[in-house]
Amino acid sequence: MSQEDTQAIQALKDVALEGIKEQRRARRWGIFFKLFFVAYLLIALIALIGSGASNSKLVEHDEITAVVDINGIIMDGATASAELVNPALKEAFEHEKTKGVILRINSPGGSPVQSGIINDEIRRLKAEYKEIPVYAVVSDLCASGGYYIAVAADKIYADKASIVGSIGVRMDNFGAVELMDKLGVERRLYTAGRNKGMLDPFLPENEEQVQHVRNMLDTTHQQFISVVKQGRGDRLQNNPDIFSGLFWTGEDALKLGLIDGLGSDAYVARELIKAEEMVNFTSEKDLLERISERVETSVQSLFALDATPRTVLR
């Protein structure tokens, strides 16, 4: 057999081997997607069973305490967004068996816009359903935007060790001008509009632009303070630290008038609303929506053309 024949046979063997490897990879991916689909069905089934349990509670009891959760960062597209929270609130108030509503809050804050929209909706529903009391109940954390929402309730309860407060506004940024100089890197930014590149971390600060940002933060802070005073009224102690961005334990927050008492959601439902059975009306996006949105957010972050920092209540 000639050398050329040997090389041709070897080439055919290599091609066949690669074909076998490709088939194996395809089978592995097929198994992965089948397992993923089965897992998704199981999660959907569990959610359906949970929904059925809630429906059975609605059937079994004459009166219920409706619960709406505010969990995590408050922002557009998140679970704690006005898009999801407000319809859940509306459904909770409208249900014929609802005797009281609990806003169960565990949030470090987030968007002042989203917090404000939720606060407005709670006030609107309270005016429409005057006979239904609304309680905010803090679990671990009710800070900044979370507290912005809480003050819309008639009363606020927390655990003695809960963290409450942080009535302030922040905007995050960083500066790397000296680092760029040390590395010998030159920043080249082309804009239309003399302030379009403001707050660029790789350029020296412009005091006029910094002052503009501070004015924006002060305006948002005053809006926050106004909402808190409107919600809490004369229950607030005359203490300037309340609006300084500090936060306190539930025990100290009670002394400052930031909350009305110490207690859990079960305590509020049982002792105050007098409807011990709690039914959760919180809306959640399904698993595929959450996965697709995380991927979309990651892609948008990679290709974002405008890196303007966001104002947050945190």
pLDDT averaged over consecutive 10-residue blocks of the chain (314 residues)? Answer: 62 65 70 64 57 55 92 93 95 95 96 96 96 97 96 97 94 79 81 85 84 92 95 94 96 97 96 95 66 46 42 59
- CA–CA gap between residue 36 and residue 31 (Å, rounded): 9
- CA–CA gap between residue 81 and residue 114 (Å, rounded): 6
Strands 311-312 and 170-171: antiparallel
User: What is residue 126's predicted lDDT score, i.e. its pLDDT?
Assistant: 96
The distance between the two most distant Cα atoms of the chain, rounded to a whole number of Å, is 102
User: What is residue 16's predicted lDDT score, i.e. its pLDDT?
Assistant: 62
- CA–CA gap between residue 86 and residue 125 (Å, rounded): 10
> Structural domain boundaries of the chain?
1-60, 62-171+208-297
User: What is residue 298's predicted lDDT score, i.e. its pLDDT?
Assistant: 45
This prediction has a pTM of 0.74
User: What is residue 308's predicted lDDT score, i.e. its pLDDT?
Assistant: 41
Asked if 132 and 93 count as a contact pair (C-beta separation under 8 A), the reply is yes
User: What is residue 13's predicted lDDT score, i.e. its pLDDT?
Assistant: 66
Asked if 275 and 95 count as a contact pair (C-beta separation under 8 A), the reply is no
User: What is residue 303's predicted lDDT score, i.e. its pLDDT?
Assistant: 39
- Domain 62-171+208-297: assigned CATH number: 3.90.226.10
